[in-house]
Amino acid sequence: MLTPFIAIYLKSYILISAIRLIMGFGYGFMIPAGSVLISKWFPISEKSTAMAIFTTGNQIGIAVSMFLTAKLCQLNIFEGWPLVFIIYGLIGAIFLIVWHFRVADKPRESKYITATELTYIKGGKQRRNRAETVVRPTPYMKIILNGCVCAICACSFAQSFVLVALVTYLPKYNQIAFKMNLTHNGIWSSLPFFIQMITKLLFAVIADKVKQAKVNATSVTKASNAIASFVSAIFIVFAALTPFGSAELVQLSIIISMAAFSAYVPGYNTSIVTVAPQFTAFISSYGQLYAQIASTLAPIVIGRITSHDTIEEWKCAFYSLAAVLAVTGIIFQIFGHGRTEAWGETPSNAASTRISTSLAVCEDGQCKLTLLEKHNHDLRTDSKMSTDSGPMKKKISRVSYAGEEIIIPGRIEDLENDVIYSIEEERED
C-alpha cells in the first residue's frame, strides 16, 4: 500500500526497491509454513489434494489480478494504477487477520477441531500410555545431498522459472504478436492460470484416489511429475512453432501447457511433504531457495532473449522454457519418489538425546510428567514406568501445559519438534 505514495511523492526508486525486497522476504516464509501445516494436518492419502488447495491461491491471484489490474488501470480514481496497490494491500491485511485468529500449528492446538477429526488425521492409531520423546537434530547434509531432495529443488526451479516468465512476459507477447488491447490482453493472459486452478484440483484428487486404491505412491508421483514436465514442454514448443499470427492456436497451446503444468502438485510438491515429514520445514525452505533464484533469473533471461521483440527471439524464449521443463523432468524421473526416506522416518531405535517420563497420579486424577534427559540410549517399548505412589490404572490420552509443567489428562500427542513414543500399559505394584 505504501508503494504508490513513495513513487508519487518521494520519487525514490531506492525506497521502492527496499519495499519490494521486504515483500519478497516476507513471501519466502509462506510456502514453507504452508507445507509444514499440511504435513501435520493431513494424512498421506490426502496430501496431494491438500497441496493443490493450498497452492490454488497462486492461480486465483494471478488470474484475477491480471484481469482486475487491467480494469483498475483504466479508472480515473487515483489515476488508476495506485488503486491496484491499495486494493491488493487491503486484501493482504484482511488475510493476515483471518490467519491469526483461525490457524493453529497442529491439530491438537486448534479450537475448532473435533475428536473425530483429530483421530482421522492421526490415522486412527491407538497410542499407549508411556511417552518418550526423541529430540532429533535436523540432518542438514543428508537432506541437501539426498537425490530426491535435489530433484525437488530442480523442479522447484523449473516451476518458478516458467511461471514467472509467463506471468511477466505473456501480456507483452500478446500485445506484440497479436496487437491485443488492454482488456483482451488481461483476459487472455489470465485464462491459462484460471484453467490451471481447475486442473490442479483435478490432478490432485485423481492422484489421491489412485493412492487409496493401493497404487504405489512413487509411481503416482513420478507419473504426475512427468505430465507437468514433458506435456507442458511439448505444448510450449508447439506454441513456438505455430505461425506468428495464429492467436487462437498459440493461446490454446499455452492453456494446455499450463493445465498440464498443474500436475506438479501431486508430483514433486507432494514429495516435499512425504520425503521426510519431520523435516518438511527445512526441505520446503531449501526448495524455495531455488524457486526464488529462478524467479530472479527468469525476467532477466527472457528479457535478454527478447530484447528486440522479433519472431525468432520469442521462439527462442519458448524453447528455453521447454528445455528447463524437460531437463528437470528427467532429473525427477531418475531421483524423485513419493516414499519417506529412512532417515526421515520415526525411528524404532535412536541414539540421540531422549527425554523419558516418570508419571505420578495426583489427587485430582491428573498425572504430571517428570522429565528426565538421557543421552545415547536406545528406545525401548518394554520398559516399565516408575510411579511415585500407588498403582496406576488411569489411561493417558492427551498432553496439556500448565506453567512450566506438562499435565497429562488424556492422550499423548506430538510435542513441538519431537517424536512421541507412547505405550499403553496398566501397572499394579
The CA-atom distances, in angstroms, between 282 and each of 11, 28, 36, 318, 358 are 39, 12, 9, 33, 32
Alpha-carbon gap, residue 153 to 233, rounded angstroms: 18
Measure the N-to-C terminal CA separation of the chain; round to a whole number of Å. Answer: 68
pLDDT tops 90 at residue 119: no
For the chain, where do the domains classified as CATH 1.20.1250.20 start and end?
3-103+139-342
Type of residue at 327 = V
- Do 160 and 294 touch, CB atoms closer than 8 A? yes
- Do 220 and 210 touch, CB atoms closer than 8 A? yes
pLDDT band at 135 (very low <50, low <70, confident <90, very high): low
pLDDT of residue 361: 41
pLDDT of residue 346: 57
The C-alpha angle with vertex 367 and arms to 365 and 371, in degrees rounded to 5, equals 170
pTM of this structure: 0.67
pLDDT band at 404 (very low <50, low <70, confident <90, very high): very low
Per-residue pLDDT, averaged over 144-152, amounts to 96
Alpha-carbon gap, residue 385 to 395, rounded angstroms: 13
The CA-atom distances, in angstroms, between 332 and each of 155, 202, 272 are 7, 22, 12
pLDDT of residue 123: 65
**Domain 3-103+139-342, what architecture?**
Up-down Bundle (1.20)
pLDDT of residue 418: 39
Quick: pLDDT tens for 247-269. Answer: 889 999 999 999 999 999 899 99
Q: Specify the range with the lowest mean pLDDT, choosing from 23-37, 144-158, 358-372.
A: 358-372
